[in-house]
Amino acid sequence: MPECAQNCLLSAVAAAGITSANLDLASSCSNTTATAKIEACSIQACTIREQLTAKNLTETLCQRPVRDAPTISVASIVGGICVLIAFTMRMLSKIRFPCDKGSRIDTDLWWDDFTITVAFVLLIPITILSNVLTGLGIGKDVWTIPFENITQALKVYYVDELLYLTALPTIKIAILCTYLRIFPTRTFRVVVFVAIGFNVAYAITFIIITIFQCNPVSLAWTHWDETHPGTCNNVNAQSWASAIINIVLDLVVVGLPMPVLWNMNLNTRKKLLVMLMFGVGFFVTIVSILRLRLLVVFGDSKNLTYDYKQVGYWTVIEVDTALCCACMPGIRNLIRRAFPKLMGTSIGNSNRVATPGLSGLSGHTAVGGSGIDKNGTGVYVRPRHDDDDHFIPLQNVSTEGLSTTDRDSVPKADKHQRDISRTTYSPDQGVWRPVSPA
């Protein structure tokens, strides 16, 4: 027992009129009033390390149960598997494998796919570090953890926080880029670009604030024992501000397409399904609110390793759910290609006037696009390749066997067309050459 804590204990025992002859350890441990006085005295007289040592010894002497924690983070592992499946399905929805052997594989990858890939790569170390934190003692009482583990856990948390502040806005930007791919309305696109700007500003601002939250920077993971010189910002206020702004941005990103979707020329069933798909993002907002509530409690915690367990769970759930929601349009397209009847492909009769250029979510990358022709058959338009201009369309305008009148009625080939009616193949040069008229 540290000397400072011994003095506090002796003072409390003397004030209660207890001597070594009538000391009852069991009754002393159950005396909550005396325990509170001893702890208050220790806070004033002892350092953080001495307080934790005294607390650990007291809990051991009183034979209080030790709260254990798992060695792996189940939430992060399950979430990581869901993210991997969602991301893979999204990417598969952007690739079309041809039926003919040797034909080119068509892809429809764009900036939204690039940004979601960046977010996916960021989620890999977040998942790994969540398990590292669990192995260092997150979920256990702080007084039961070796001092070096506390420092190491705070260092890992520092890196994890930076990854979190980068991944969330990146996922939102990926969703906004998807909007740019789907909705062509100029006004809507301007609003989307503004929202992208706000997310970029949010990421840059809070990443810089978090990196330099303490001076020196190393104080971010060593300040817990209050023995190192330097200063730190109000980290709790910083975390609350970040969480609140993040919730506002969530609402903006999820709510942006709802009015446009409601006014689209889709049947009611399809419209509701598409809006529900985009509305799943509201669940991420609910998770963010729950995390903010826990941050308020965590800010005043005297047992940070135990109290951080719930905050860590909801942090992992938030980023994993956000990425899965961002992949929903691609998942829907992949399922629609495999089970078209399940997702529905017909555009119903609607009295609503379609917006010019926005009669449906067209294109096989669009969330509701089916490429439907008048017969209800799915139509896929092959993306244009860079070398398409190298091909010149050919037209057979042979007039042999036609009368003079009929021959004159045959349209002349334009400058992009060739007359292949009088050609011969030259094997030595491997080309077709025109036959000179007799």
- What's the rounded Cα separation, in Å, for the pair 382 and 255? 32
Retrieve residue 160's tokens: 């994890």
Instruction: Read off the tokens for 227.
Output: 């023995």
Residue pLDDT, tens place only, 273-328 = 777 776 677 778 888 887 777 776 666 677 888 888 888 888 888 899 889 888 88
Helices and strands, number each (H, E), in the chain:
17, 6
In 3D, which of 328, 20, 344 has the Cα closest to residue 178?
A: 328
Which pTM value belongs to this model?
0.71
> Within 10 Å of residue 262's Cβ, how many Cβ atoms?
13
pLDDT, one tens digit per residue, over 44-88 is: 888 889 889 988 888 888 888 888 878 888 888 999 999 999 999
Query: Has residue 262 been placed in a domain?
Result: yes
Query: What are 349's two structure tokens?
Result: 């009769």
Overall size of the chain counted in residues? 438
**What does the block give as tokens for 418?**
């060739």
**Residue 302: inside a domain:** yes
Contact 72, 309 (CB under 8 A): no
Number of domains in the chain: 3
Is residue 350 domain-resident? Answer: no
Do 97 and 200 fall within a single domain? Answer: yes
Spatial CA neighbour of 361 closest among 336, 396, 385, 341: 336
Dihedral sign (CA 299, 303, 308, 311): negative
Instruction: Please tell me the distance from the alpha carbon of residue 152 to that of residue 136, in angstroms, as a whole number.
Output: 8
Residues 400 and 310 in one domain: no
Q: Which tokens hold the place of 7?
A: 């003095």
Considering the domain architecture, whether residues 44 and 140 belong to the same structural domain is answered as: no
Chosen domain end from 341, 362, 383: 341
Instruction: Summarize the confidence of residues 137-148 as an average pLDDT.
Output: 89
Alpha helix (H) residue ranges in 94-183: 111-136, 147-182
> For residues 171 and 162, what is the distance between their CA atoms, to the nearest angstrom?
15
Q: Are residues 197 and 148 in the same domain?
A: yes
State yes or no: cis peptide before 216, omega within 30 of 0. yes
Examine the domain organization and report whether 24 and 110 are in the same domain. Answer: no
Return the closest-CA partner of residue 46 out of 298, 226, 301. Answer: 226
**Residue pair 330/90 in contact by the 8 Å Cβ criterion:** yes
Same domain, 313 and 277: yes
Helices (H), 183-263: 186-211, 219-222, 235-255, 258-262
| Three-point CA angle 344, 348, 349, nearest 5° | 175
Kindly indicate the confidence band of residue 366, based on its pLDDT and cuts at 50, 70 and 90. very low
* Cα separation values, 64 from 13, 26, 61, Å: 20, 11, 8
Mean pLDDT (whole number) for 126-145 = 90
CA distance linking residue 81 with residue 78, whole number of Å: 5
Residues 375 and 398: their CA atoms lie apart, in Å, by 34
- Per-residue HEC secondary structure of 175-189 comes to HHHHHHHHCCCHHHH
Q: Of 20-24, 172-176, 324-328, which gets the smallest average pLDDT?
A: 20-24
What's the pLDDT score for residue 420?
Answer: 47
Domain-embedded: residue 370 = no
For residue 69, is it within any domain? no
Beta-carbon neighbour count of residue 209 at 10 Å? 15
Helix (H) or strand (E) holding 419: none
- At 71 the pLDDT is 81
Quick one: DSSP state of residue 96?
Answer: E
Q: Do 138 and 214 lie in a common domain? A: yes
Which of these ranges, 76-90, 95-109, 145-159, 162-176, has the smallest mean pLDDT? 95-109
- Quote the pLDDT of residue 21: 56
Evaluate whether residue 364 is within a structural domain.
no
Q: Are residues 126 and 252 in the same domain?
A: yes
Q: Say yes or no: 257 and 324 in one domain.
A: yes
Q: Both 311 and 400 in a single domain?
A: no
How deeply is 55 buried, as exposed, middle or buried, from its count of CB atoms within 10 A (0-12, 13-18, 19+)?
A: buried
> Distance between CA 189 and CA 195 in Å, rounded?
10
Residue whose C-alpha is closest to residue 314's, from 209, 243, 210: 243
DSSP conformation class of 358: B
- Any domain includes 283: yes
Tokens for 153, please give them: 């856990």
Q: Do residues 34 and 17 lie in contact, with contact meaning Cβ atoms separated by under 8 Å?
A: no
Q: Is the Cβ–Cβ distance between 378 and 370 less than 8 Å?
A: yes
Indicate if the pLDDT at residue 368 is higher than 80: no
More confident position, 262 or 298: 262
54 within domain boundaries: yes
Q: Could you list the residue range(s) of the whole structural domain that residue 123 is in?
A: 74-341
